[in-house]
Structure 1
Amino acid sequence: MPSALTPFLAVREAALRLDGTSSDYLPLLELARDKQFVLLGEATHGTADFYRMRAEITQALITDEGFDAVAIEGDWPDAWRVNRYVQGEGDDDSTGAIADFQRFPSWMWRNQEFLLFIEWLREHNAGLPAERRTGVYGLDLYSLYRSAEAVIRYLAPIDPMQAESARQYYAALDHVRDPAAYGYQAATGSRMPATEGAIRQLLQLRSDEAARISRNGLAAMDSHYFAEQNALVVVNAEAYYREMFGRRVNTWNLRDAHMAQTLKSLVEYRQRRGGSGRAVVWAHNSHVGDANATESRLRGEWNLGQLVRRLAGERALLVGFTTYTGYVCAASEWDGEPERKRIVPALPGSWEALFHTTRLDRFFLALGAGASRTLFEAMLERAIGVLYLPQSERASHYFDASIAGQFDALFHLDETDALEPLPTPHNVGS
């Protein structure tokens, strides 16, 4: 494409308008044909359209391309309950399967679109042998205490002595049930971090893996892997909460490094159990897009998309989603109630405003190395997380980014609608 093209003309020439049918995804599926990782983003944590489209794309990747893992920006033990449901295990119905998603913002996974997706996946898996069933897994690290408890629950019936050791290793965590308070006390020296004991427990589980699995097969592999990853969460979450107040480590980097570590481990696990080890990721654009192409690089920050590109090279596909206006489900303050909020039309000088001026409404845009050089220039890009603060729109929600450096492909929807949160249960099952 000629380098003299303006960004407007470059988008007009390359964009493929969406018509609301399954053919909308054919260009993306073609790009995904030889990939091991397809990362599907979202410009907000509360847009129904993004969840619905990611579900439709993921269904096609599973049925047509053989992907067998869906990794979400959710906590490991919460997502494992969903995984058991889609594998046909346990007594949960679909509503029960998402019951453990109670941590703010619960609406990220307690919503109708995600519920419909896991119902579809359970039905899809029903006719397949266990090793070929697609699983759902959490990438995040906030579940410090629940993960510690899960390790102990796993060990108690099969190795009481090691379970007691785990209780002792995690005892430093048990004194304080608030992770933020734990991090503050560890950083200020008023308590010792539990790092050493947590690492010992993780290494012990890893050393026991082969022996436990050889005796009991696939079911043992799954339960042991669940426990081992919970032990990893404890190690990394302990460091995360401690350093949050220590000002020595960028906690964003710790979190995304954990996500990348978990994703790599996950595909290896899927291959060990006889699957393809090809994974679809659902996370925010800020995690999915390559941070090296944004202003985050100036702060020394990296992210999941950047680390996956480094790991997999051309076998990674990073896909962004943007919107110009509409409605979003978001809170006004941390731990606040979800609200249906009007999204202010995108600011002039932003990629979203540029996409709006093309009058294409909804379109797919292939990017990456083949894109016009003008799409590698930096412009504003909007990111709405669990909070949306339109009164401070520019300061709270915009950053500089090269859209073609950040993503390999992008879906733009000019107007979008909000997720409808499902009620949060008061009592959580195990």
Structure 2
Amino acid sequence: MADRELRQIRELARPLRGPADLDPLLDRVGDARVVAIGEASHGTHEYYAWRAALTRRLIEEHGFGLVAVEGEWPDCYRVNRSVRLRADADEDPRNALDAFSRWPTWMWANDDVADFCRWLRQHNAGLPEDRRVGFYGLDVYSLWDSMHALVDWLAEHEPGHVDQAKAALACFEPFGEDGAEYAFASRFAPTSCEQAAVELLRSLCAERGRAEAAIDAEARFSAEQNAAVVVDAERYYRAMVRGSAESWNVRDVHMVDTLDRLLEHTGRRAVVWEHNTHIGDARATDMADAGMTNVGQLLRERHGTDDVVLVGFGGYRGGVVAGREWGAQMERMPVPPARAGSLEDRIHDAVGEDALFLFPRDGRPEWLDRRLDHRAIGVVYRPERERWGNYVPTVLGERYDAFLYLDDTTPLRPLHLEHADEHVPAAAFGA
């Protein structure tokens, strides 16, 4: 590596030893409405721990009011009720997380998330109910869980819509709650369940202005969100059979649409937790060449670069929890040293320790504008494929606003092993 590039990397690196070292990043956040914090894998303790540490400071010192994650709405809403101390909710958020049963459970059912959510509940206990910080899921996979939750809510609060909801649910029932089976069938069938799902959402939202004052506004918002999940999940599963880029885009647009609804509903600033492949602006990677968009790009386009801060993660070597194929039992796996010439390899050679990087908007050093391989480990990982896989060509200074580099990492600790009978969602990508 050229001495000049080594020097440029060292000059931009800041120490990263404890939460106080995040001060420059908090200054960079300023008045931004959304801070999206990534991870270079779904199974690394240090990514989760640092993300939680940054989020705690954003909540305590900057008044951020919601955490939105790459998880499903019904599961995360149970956690939300716990951390916001709602009636009849789990007194310990760990129990709500331990109930996650959809593969890959370790993404959220792990010690780091449990510790954060316990802290969040304690933090919220000292606040009035309307100022308590929420925990919400943005993802699209939970078609059937959202349908069942919606039917239950309508039966209690708006029985006039129950028959319509049951009719929509009946349209999906022949496929045994299997998204892949529905996707395959919809490719050849002359009709799909799309119209039933759309009509259900339309009728539910039409009642928003006429809802009785006694109805819990948060619970009604959750019902509307479950209806939106049904609509977009149906689109996602149909898109699966037409191509990976289309289904990816349906999913990421849904996640940003959900976040925008949360921002409007709560009137609060948001922290987003997702994989780097969602958080980092797709236009700075080869994803754009494949016709893909993502959360980071959409956030910048919708809210502007001054109102959004994108934070990426990366690591040189260590360990991770992942599966060797989609739906496989989780394993603790070694993560070998980063590929020679990759982004992580360059930072390791230049710095050799944990570091924080903040990217200037003007006058960036040359290495930030070069396209370098940047490691990305999803829920599926095979260390032996490091030579030809697991890397996304990335222009670092355009993909993120800040970057946390961790030289040596360890696997996170799941709350439980996966169950043999748990449902495995179909997906186009593992991130």
Equivalent residues in 2 for 1:263-342, closer than 5 Å = 263-271=259-267, 277-313=268-304, 314-342=306-334
Does the CA-based 8 Å contact 2:98-2:415 persist in structure 1?
no
Q: Which moved more, 1:6-15 or 1:257-266?
A: 6-15
Give the letter aligned to residue 256 of structure 1: D
The 2-side partners of 1:188 and 1:394 are apart by: 39
Equivalent residues in 2 for 1:2-41, closer than 5 Å = 6-18=4-16, 20-41=17-38
Give the letter aligned to residue 138 of structure 2: L
Give the letter aligned to residue 9 of structure 1: R
Equivalent residues in 2 for 1:220-299, closer than 5 Å = 220-247=216-243, 250-271=246-267, 277-299=268-290
Does the CA-based 8 Å contact 1:376-1:402 persist in structure 2?
yes
Aligned-pair distance for 1:95? 2.6
1:361 to 339, 353, 361: 353
Aligned-pair distance for 1:286? 0.4
Superposed CA offset, 1:167-223 (max 9, x none): 11222111212111011100122x6311111111111121111222x512xx62101
Equivalent residues in 2 for 1:387-406, closer than 5 Å = 387-406=380-399
Does the CA-based 8 Å contact 2:103-2:418 persist in structure 1?
no
- CA distance 1:415–1:248, change in 2 (3 Å): closer
What SS does the aligned partner of 1:149 have?
helix
Give the letter aligned to residue 141 of structure 2: Y
Give the letter aligned to residue 106 of structure 2: W
Q: Which moved more, 1:78-87 or 1:88-97?
A: 88-97
The 1-side partners of 2:55 and 2:37 are apart by: 9
The 2-side partners of 1:59 and 1:280 are apart by: 10
Equivalent residues in 2 for 1:123-272, closer than 5 Å = 123-176=122-175, 177-189=177-189, 192-212=191-211, 215-216=213-214, 220-247=216-243, 250-271=246-267
- CA distance 1:315–1:12, change in 2 (3 Å): same
The 2-side partners of 1:123 and 1:296 are apart by: 40
Does the CA-based 8 Å contact 1:99-1:425 persist in structure 2?
no
Aligned-pair distance for 1:8? 2.4
The equivalent residue for 1:108 is: 107
The 2-side partners of 1:368 and 1:226 are apart by: 39
Equivalent residues in 2 for 1:408-423, closer than 5 Å = 408-423=401-416
The 2-side partners of 1:417 and 1:367 are apart by: 27
Give the letter aligned to residue 231 of structure 1: A
**Which 4+ runs in 1 deviate beyond 4 A?**
424-428
Does the CA-based 8 Å contact 1:187-1:243 persist in structure 2?
no
Does the CA-based 8 Å contact 2:94-2:117 persist in structure 1?
no
The 1-side partners of 2:349 and 2:60 are apart by: 36
Aligned-pair distance for 1:6? 4.0
Does the CA-based 8 Å contact 2:13-2:351 persist in structure 1?
no
| Number of residue equivalences | 415
Does the CA-based 8 Å contact 1:188-1:246 persist in structure 2?
no
Give the letter aligned to residue 123 of structure 2: H
What SS does the aligned partner of 2:42 have?
coil
The TM-score normalised by the length of structure 2 is 0.93
Aligned-pair distance for 1:250? 1.3
The 2-side partners of 1:149 and 1:298 are apart by: 39
The 1-side partners of 2:203 and 2:387 are apart by: 49
The 2-side partners of 1:220 and 1:59 are apart by: 28
The 1-side partners of 2:244 and 2:81 are apart by: 38
The 2-side partners of 1:201 and 1:228 are apart by: 10
The 1-side partners of 2:164 and 2:367 are apart by: 58
The equivalent residue for 1:274 is: none
Superposed CA offset, 1:366-397 (max 9, x none): 01514324311101111000011122213330
What SS does the aligned partner of 1:56 have?
helix
Give the letter aligned to residue 365 of structure 1: F
Aligned-pair distance for 1:159? 2.2
Aligned-pair distance for 1:399? 2.0
What SS does the aligned partner of 1:401 have?
strand
Aligned-pair distance for 1:85? 0.2
Give the letter aligned to residue 233 of structure 2: A
What SS does the aligned partner of 1:420 have?
coil
What SS does the aligned partner of 2:156 have?
coil
Q: Which runs of 5+ in 1 are unaligned?
A: 272-276
The 2-side partners of 1:247 and 1:358 are apart by: 40
Do structure 1's residue 56 and structure 2's residue 53 form an aligned pair?
yes
The TM-score normalised by the length of structure 1 is 0.93
What SS does the aligned partner of 2:207 have?
helix
Identity of aligned residues (%): 39
The 2-side partners of 1:107 and 1:50 are apart by: 14
Q: Which runs of 5+ in 2 are unaligned?
A: 423-431
The 2-side partners of 1:5 and 1:235 are apart by: 54
Aligned-pair distance for 1:94? 2.2
Does the CA-based 8 Å contact 1:256-1:287 persist in structure 2?
yes
Give the letter aligned to residue 185 of structure 1: A
Does the CA-based 8 Å contact 1:293-1:405 persist in structure 2?
yes
Aligned-pair distance for 1:299? 0.5
What SS does the aligned partner of 1:43 have?
coil
What SS does the aligned partner of 1:74 have?
strand
Does the CA-based 8 Å contact 1:379-1:401 persist in structure 2?
yes
